[in-house]
A and B are shown apart, each in its own frame.
Chain A
Amino acid sequence: MNMFLREVRTSLTLWTTPVIVLAVVYCAVIALKEGVYLWSDATQGLTTASLFLNPLLGGVTAAAAGRRERGGFSERIAGASDNAWRARLFFFAGITAAPALAGSLGVVAVVIYMNANGAEGDISWIWLVATTAGAVLCCAIGFALGIVFEGRWYVSVAVAVVLYFGWSLLQGSGLPFWIIQSFPTTFGGSNPNVRYIYATFIGQIFWYLGLAVVLTSVAFFRKSGVTQRVRRVTTATAAVAASVGLFLIISTNGQITTGYNARDYDCTGGSVELCLTPGYDRGADALQGAFYALNERAAGTPLVATKLEQNVEGIGESVSAGARAVYVEDLSPGFEGLSVSRYVQKYGGQVNCTEDPDSAYAEDIVTAWLVGEPSWLLGAGGPGQDAAQRFADSDEATRRAWFATNYDAYQACSIPLAVLP
């Protein structure tokens, strides 16, 4: 233990501790929507930190390993009669201990912050473990290369650059997603309405850690005099674990989440009953107000909203009887207008606008008015400009009466421009 603590104390990675704590906390907090404390957002933020912390760790570890090599480490190990593998292990553990502690401190700080603000949902620990495993692999890459190249200055820079830009290049490469997710950076979107795919995370943990052990084994045993049998058993076991992990990642194509509606809502009363996932209540008043306005314009038509349930992108409509789906985006500024717009597009007649361009244009004019943005189409040019201007100039009572009368035509997307008031 004494030797291990000595390694921690003299490790080059010590200076990264405050950087890591701050980065972890910053990434988690910045991922939160204003006034909304969702663990799904915080978890995503925490994992996002790996995008630049992993390159940092890889680079610093390469520098640390190279620095130690310049101190004749391999020769010392080679001349050792005892503790050869412990010396390597303690050194590697000493390099990774400070970042691990810093990351843990950062997570603890985020947990305290989130709980103090009444966070909703659950932190995805397995995602964090997979992210940590990815960080360990980055350290192992740096460690192995630092030893092999014996402290050449450019190695640490090259490791950091490859780890930073490698992920970005993979993202735009068009390669199968499982290849991208095999890179030691677990990144993905999350929200309260997803279910995590554990097989991918478990696969990543096995893959990252197995590969890390293979790399560190090669580096550990280089010139160390450790017996061939130990080397073979360690490396082979780790290689098998890594292969199992890769197989799991391939089997899920690297997907880490899938759309899922837990149907866990907090509902607000009123003429528009609004049911939102816990944590989104900050947006309830604005959203309700926007739907009150829509209901006034669409009064007397089936477009009037009475019960709305927050729905999940990508899994189709999943609402209880009598309710309609509402998408709240990320409660970003102006989200309520967008929510109403998507509601009108979904339940209005725009889906039927497939044939007549005039009717489609008229449909757009009416939709723009319904969602409270009548100026959207003005000044856009085109044959419907006169009709759009005429519709905008008409009084509100006329438009509402016209809409109630012509709702069926609107729904069927068969409104000649000339019919608009």
Chain B
Amino acid sequence: MARGRTTILENIDFAFEAGITVLLGPNGAGKTTLLSSLAGFAGVSAGHLALGGSDIPGEAERRAFQRTAGYMAQSYRPIPGFTAQESVEYAGWLKGIPSKQLRSRSRAALSEVGLDSEARKKVSKLSGGMRQRVGLAEAIVHDPEVLILDEPTVGLDLQQRHQFRAYLNARKATTSVLLSTHLTEDVSTLADRVVILAGGVIRFDGTLTTLNDIGRALPEERPGESSIERAYLNILGGAG
């Protein structure tokens, strides 16, 4: 898969599983490209995606997948002039929620992310953390089976991060969650499965326990370093 002349992802074979899958990788590893491509975004100039044996770019499959998937971009960009409620309704409309249900479903989504009281405020007037939650409400308004989140904890303060992690842990019972992050803390508190991506290639795909075991088996090189960090750096080192 390429953007312009640059190959970004290569031979990625990836299956969504129940629970939370955390995608780790350095800057430029291709995390955002992978997530946005899975969410159905265009912008790649070569390559193809397959889902369940069918090419996703096929219109029917693409639409069917997108109905089941919710996506939150790394940096939420509000629609100018829209309130939080309107933004979430709009997202729901684009996911095929019937008009009569838009209001109630968007209310429910906003309530789920703790933004009941901000529903009528313009998104542009909300804080960065609240905006991210509006983005999350947009991603979940159609009750997706797969939730794809690109660096969702960036820009959140400590309390918001805790709340967000608690929310995802509660949600994973009904939704497959795939999220990218830079923070090993996210990995340790959220991940059921960890995928490490570097140079457009998957370097590790396994459980958190396995990753921890790899880390524990390695000698501690830096004081205070967690086993996840050791394992991650070791895998990246091996890649490099």
Chain A residues proximal to chain B, CB less than 8 Å:
2-3, 6, 9-10, 67-68, 70-73, 75-84, 87, 223, 225, 227
Contact = CB atoms under 8 A, between A and B. Distances in A.
B91 interface: yes
B66 A80 contact: yes
Nearest to B63: A81
B42 interface: yes
A250 B50 CA distance: 51
Contacts, number: 76
Contacts of B63: 81-82
Given A67-B80, A75-B41, A83 B94 contact: yes
Contact of A73 (B36, B79, B93): B79
Contacts of B82: 6, 10
17 contacts: A9-B81, A10-B81, A68-B80, A71-B77, A72-B73, A75-B41, A75-B77, A77-B94, A78-B41, A79-B40, A79-B94, A80-B66, A82-B63, A82-B67, A83-B96, A87-B93, A223-B42
A80 B42 CA distance: 11
Contacts of B86: 6
B78 interface: yes
Nearest to A229: B59
Interface string B155-171: 00000000000000000
A75 B94 contact: no
A83 B43 contact: no
Contacts of A75: 36, 41, 73, 77
B64 to A, nearest CB: 8
Given A10-B81, A71-B77, A71-B78, A225 B93 contact: no
Nearest to A222: B42
Contact of B94 (A6, A82, A223): A82
A78 B79 contact: no
Given A68-B79, A225-B42, A225-B62, A81 B95 contact: yes
Interface in B68-110: 71, 73, 76-82, 86, 90-91, 93-96, 99
A73 B82 CA distance: 12
B228 interface: no
Given A68-B79, A68-B80, A223 B39 contact: no
Contact of B40 (A73, A83, A225): A225
A78 B96 contact: no
Contacts of A80: 66, 94-95
A321 B132 CA distance: 85
Contact of A76 (B36, B43, B94): B94
Interface in B146-181: none
A83 B67 CA distance: 12
Q: List the 4 shortest-distance A-B pairs measured between CB atoms, nearest first.
A: A10-B81, A82-B96, A80-B94, A72-B77
Given A79-B71, A225-B40, A71 B94 contact: no
Interface of B: 36, 39-43, 59, 62-67, 71, 73, 76-82, 86, 90-91, 93-96, 99
A223 B95 CA distance: 16
Nearest to B71: A79
A88 to B, nearest CB: 11
Contacts of B76: 72
B67 to A, nearest CB: 4
Contacts of B67: 81-82
A112 B224 CA distance: 82
A68 B73 CA distance: 16
A98 to B, nearest CB: 13
Nearest to A91: B79
A12 B41 CA distance: 27
B90 A3 contact: yes
A225 B80 CA distance: 23
Nearest to A82: B96
A9 B122 CA distance: 13
A83 B93 contact: yes
A9 B79 CA distance: 13
A195 B65 CA distance: 60
B41 A79 contact: yes
A68 B41 CA distance: 17
A81 B94 CA distance: 6
A215 B86 CA distance: 28
A2 B101 CA distance: 13
B137 to A, nearest CB: 14
A84 B78 contact: no
B193 to A, nearest CB: 24
A84 to B, nearest CB: 7
Nearest to A230: B59
A71 B39 contact: no
A92 to B, nearest CB: 15
B143 to A, nearest CB: 13
Nearest to A228: B59
A17 to B, nearest CB: 16
A84 B59 CA distance: 12
Given A76-B94, A83-B96, A71 B66 contact: no
Contacts of B94: 76-77, 79-84, 87
Contacts of A78: 40-43
Nearest to A11: B81
A227 B59 contact: yes
Given A78-B43, A82-B63, 12 more contacts: A3-B90, A6-B82, A10-B82, A68-B79, A71-B78, A78-B42, A80-B95, A81-B63, A81-B66, A81-B67, A82-B94, A227-B59
B124 to A, nearest CB: 9
A61 to B, nearest CB: 14
A10 B80 CA distance: 8
Nearest to A87: B94
A302 B76 CA distance: 87
A59 B43 CA distance: 27
B91 A76 contact: yes
Contacts of A71: 77-80
Contacts of B43: 78, 223
A2 B79 contact: no
